[in-house]
Amino acid sequence: MFPILYLLFATVLCNGEFMRPPPGKMILTRHAESSSYPQQVHISAVGTDHMRVSWITTDKRVPSIVEYGTDSGTYDMTATGEHTSYRYFSYVSGKIHHVNIGPLLPDTVYYYRCGRVGDEFNFKTPPAVLPIDFVVAGDLGQTEWTASTLYHVNQSDYDMLLLPGDLSYADTQQPLWDAFGRFVEPYARKRPWMVTQGNHEVEAFPVLHDLHPFAAYNSRWPMPYQESGSPSNLYYSFDVAAAIHVIMLGSYTDFDSNSAQYNWLVADLAKVDRSKTPWLIVLLHVPWYNTNLAHQGEGESMRKAMEDLLYKARVDVVFSGHVHAYERFMRIYNNKADQCGPMYITIGDGGNREGLALEFEKDHKSAHLSVFHEASFGHGRLKVINGSSAHWSWHRNDDSVSTMRDELWLESLSSSSACNVGSHFVASSDHYEL
């Protein structure tokens, strides 16, 4: 609690103005239990009624088994999974366990134990139907400000956390991946965390062919890419609450029209029936629209390659990170306001160690499209109420109760008569096929 209180004290009002907080100190969370005790426990959704439970042990003899049930202390179900490990220079990871459990009931608390060792944990499954509450937080890291963000997140219940890249900020220092896993475990073991990669996950050395990029990320944080027909853990999709299709794209893998990711995205969008799935949400790391001085133009090549697909599919909102600030744009297509384009939101303010991106360009070509921006740490919440309405809010970490600094109601494009949203996306046409 001390880092949070320290930061709250440091973020004082000066002459009535909010002072921009400095970068927070790193918090290195250590493992204090036995070598067989599960650490870095986190869960992710697999399909509509399964969860993947992931954890690490330094004892290689611990079985990849999860015992679980709906009553505390009573485990009437058991699942066996798989394990992996990886080497990075002289670093050798522990035994990384991944176990899929289910089928599970929706909106239900399950109690579970990993590897038949250690304490009992619990999680709640997402609801089968709307409404549903998402937390969105990017560029998280493991600093005092990250602790503040997660503290604020935990003040209100939610169903799932979406993270558009930059998790641990290990940057090749592999023990920091372990510290990050322990740091987020109290939260990530209770609700599914769905993530995509950012630049800090790459960890590649081009001259060393034995060190594959994303080795730590792919080993520690597998997402349901195979279930969505994707060939790579770097991009995938999933459905939730029988009304929302979420697509996670990879900013740091090929995305041109000849790439595997592009072809997968075309096929994935074609499978979405908007009459049954009214909401379409996309997350990626590098923003396509950005008036901050930081990372100017870095998302332009991906925007040019893929923006047409998202526009024709009538994507409702695109979340990104990378820029360490918050910025919300109006609905856009091809650098112009368009009521049928996605709303673009940058939320790279989770608490990273590099600090905030403080300067926005007043004369930027996209400044007239930017509705609200602020360089502060915080998190967002998306509450999807029904097939046509959702509430978005952004919460700044400026006092003991997170302050809501931005909010609006969203109308799904599938419910808009002006946007001609038919049932299925057709990539080769300028319209929808009914």
Query: Of the listed 31, 50, 83, 295, which one is catalytic?
Result: 295
Q: What's the token pair of residue 340?
A: 């049928």
Q: Which residues pair with 44 in a beta bridge?
A: 52
Sequence-ordered list of residues with C-beta below 8 angstroms from that of 352, at least 6 positions apart, any chain: 23, 139, 140, 141, 143, 145, 146, 166, 169, 324
Specify the pairing of strand 279-283 against strand 317-320.
parallel
| Phi/psi-derived region of residue 107, left when phi > 0, alpha when psi is between -120 and 50, beta in every other case | left
Radius of gyration of the chain (CA): 21
Position of tokens 């990669």?
Answer: 197
Across the strands, what pairs with 14?
17
Q: Residue 24 corresponds to which amino acid?
A: G
Residues 6+ apart with CB under 8 A from 411: 388, 389
Dihedral of alpha carbons 348, 353, 359, 364, sign:
negative
CA dist 353 and 359 (Å) reads 18
For residue 79, what are the contacts with CB-CB under 8 A and spacing of at least 6?
Answer: 65, 66, 68, 99, 100, 101, 102
Strands 65-69, 77-80: parallel, antiparallel or unpaired by DSSP?
Answer: antiparallel
Query: From residue 154, how far is each of 224, 252, 362, 373, 410 by CA, in Å?
Result: 25, 31, 35, 24, 24
The number of residues making up the chain comes to: 434
295 assigned to active site:
yes
User: Rounded to an integer, what distance in angstroms lies between the CA atom of residue 122 and that of residue 190?
Assistant: 6
Residues carrying an active site annotation: 295
